[in-house]
């Protein structure tokens, strides 16, 4: 799967741009503030309906306009489809796939699976469990069609249960919701567990390439003691939950634990090693998607040279090439990428003040 055409309009500092990306490595270079990261952000926005840089989507719309427009041609095997998104400053979103209006943004995510590697990717390791749950759930969503509806039901029931807890409802009133919560939680947890187990098989080899001297152990925690029946736990924790007004245990507390020996990876590895570990996680996730549903991810790699030496840049780029996926990678100095590749990138774009130019014959600067 790859983008064959990308149109961006009134997105950040890009008034209007059209790119014809190639399969393989697409190098985008330019000075800070030129708009190169905005191209990656636009692709992500088109696939997810939101930004990876800001929770306020209105901020990505140029001040002079009331909307942004993104459009792409997407090649999947021998078929080509068209995806379009328009976001208004009011918050309204219009999405079309092959001319048909789409109501759910999850349909976009299903059509355009995206992996992002940015300097902010450390959030996966340093922030709370939420970012790691989102990492697991990205794969669970793409690899099992029953996951999304089950997880939506878990969140809906938790919202209802927490409201009852805040209202100090009796357990008899809550018990019905607990039965439903247990039912959907088991579905969500089984899918997550199977996904992490499959991911671990691929991940071992990639981590050995990136961090050969480090033994990283990865395990999934479901959000409650695996030896305890969840229904019994909910009833036993009712007094505690009623006191706090929230459900203390469940799939909404699940996490992915990464350790070196007895230490969390955050304490055991350097920043450069942690960046390689995050890259390994993303690459493994993309490879597993290809194995399970025969669909490539699109990789968005921002500021790749940052905190990686030449050897690790070369290793990471080779791993990305080996996925067979389309890759968009940005850099201030193109030489940092060109010197790390055995063959030239498939296409090179230069960005300056929001204007995008194709470089036909890239040179090492």
What does the pLDDT look like over 63-80, one tens digit per residue?
888 899 999 999 988 889
Directed axis angle between helix 310-322 and helix 271-293, to 10°? 10
What element of type H or E holds 252? none
- Which pLDDT value is given to residue 118? 86
20-29 pLDDT, tens per residue? 999 999 999 9
Mean pLDDT of 73-88: 90
> Per the confidence metrics, is the pTM higher than 0.85?
yes
Give, in degrees to the nearest 5, the angle at Cα 25 between 22 and 27.
95
Residues 6+ apart with CB under 8 A from 288: 139, 143, 198, 199, 202
Directed axis angle between helix 129-143 and helix 147-166, to 10°? 140
Report which listed range, 67-81, 227-241, 332-346, is most confident: 227-241
Taking a C-beta distance cutoff of 8 angstroms, is the pair 302, 316 a contact? no
Mean pLDDT of 172-186: 96
Instruction: Find residue 168's DSSP bridge partners.
Output: none
113-171 pLDDT, tens per residue? 999 998 777 778 888 899 999 999 999 999 999 999 999 999 999 999 999 999 999 99
Minimum mean pLDDT range among 12-21, 125-134, 239-248 = 125-134
What percentage of residues in the chain have a pLDDT greater than 70? 97
Checking if the pLDDT of 362 tops 60, the result is no
């Amino acid at each position: 799967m790859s983008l064959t055409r990308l149109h961006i309009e009134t997105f950040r500092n890009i008034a209007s741009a059209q790119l014809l990306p190639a399969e393989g490595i697409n190098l985008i270079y330019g000075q800070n503030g030129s708009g190169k990261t905005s191209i990656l952000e636009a692709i992500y926005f088109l696939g997810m309906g939101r930004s990876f840089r800001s929770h306020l989507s209105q901020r990505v719309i140029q001040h002079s306009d009331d909307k942004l427009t993104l459009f792409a041609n997407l090649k999947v095997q021998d078929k080509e489809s068209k995806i379009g998104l328009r976001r208004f400053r009011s918050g309204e979103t219009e999405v079309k796939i092959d001319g048909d209006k789409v109501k759910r943004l999850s349909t976009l995510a299903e059509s355009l699976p995206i992996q992002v590697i940015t300097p902010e990717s450390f959030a996966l390791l340093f922030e709370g469990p939420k970012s790691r749950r989102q990492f697991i759930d990205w794969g669970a969503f793409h690899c099992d069609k029953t996951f999304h509806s089950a997880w939506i039901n878990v969140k809906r029931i938790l919202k209802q249960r927490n409201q009852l807890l805040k209202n100090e409802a009796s357990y008899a009133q809550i018990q019905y919701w607990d039965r439903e919560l247990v039912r959907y939680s088991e579905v969500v947890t089984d899918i997550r567990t199977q996904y992490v187990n499959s991911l671990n098989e691929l991940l071992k080899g990639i981590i050995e390439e990136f961090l050969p001297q480090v033994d990283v152990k990865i395990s999934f925690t479901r959000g409650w003691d695996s030896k305890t029946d969840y229904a019994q736990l909910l009833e036993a924790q009712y007094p505690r939950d009623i006191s706090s007004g929230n459900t203390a245990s469940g799939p909404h507390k699940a996490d992915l634990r990464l350790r070196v020996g007895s230490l969390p990876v955050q304490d055991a590895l350097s920043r450069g090693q942690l960046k390689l570990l995050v890259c390994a996680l993303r690459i493994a996730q993309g490879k597993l998607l290809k194995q399970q549903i025969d669909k490539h991810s699109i990789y968005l790699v921002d500021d790749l040279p940052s905190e990686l030496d030449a050897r690790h840049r070369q290793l990471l780029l080779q791993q990305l090439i080996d996925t067979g996926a389309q890759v968009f990678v940005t850099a201030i100095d193109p030489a940092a990428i060109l010197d790390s590749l055995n063959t030239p990138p498939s296409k090179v774009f230069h960005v300056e003040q929001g204007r995008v130019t194709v470089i036909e014959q890239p040179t090492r600067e």
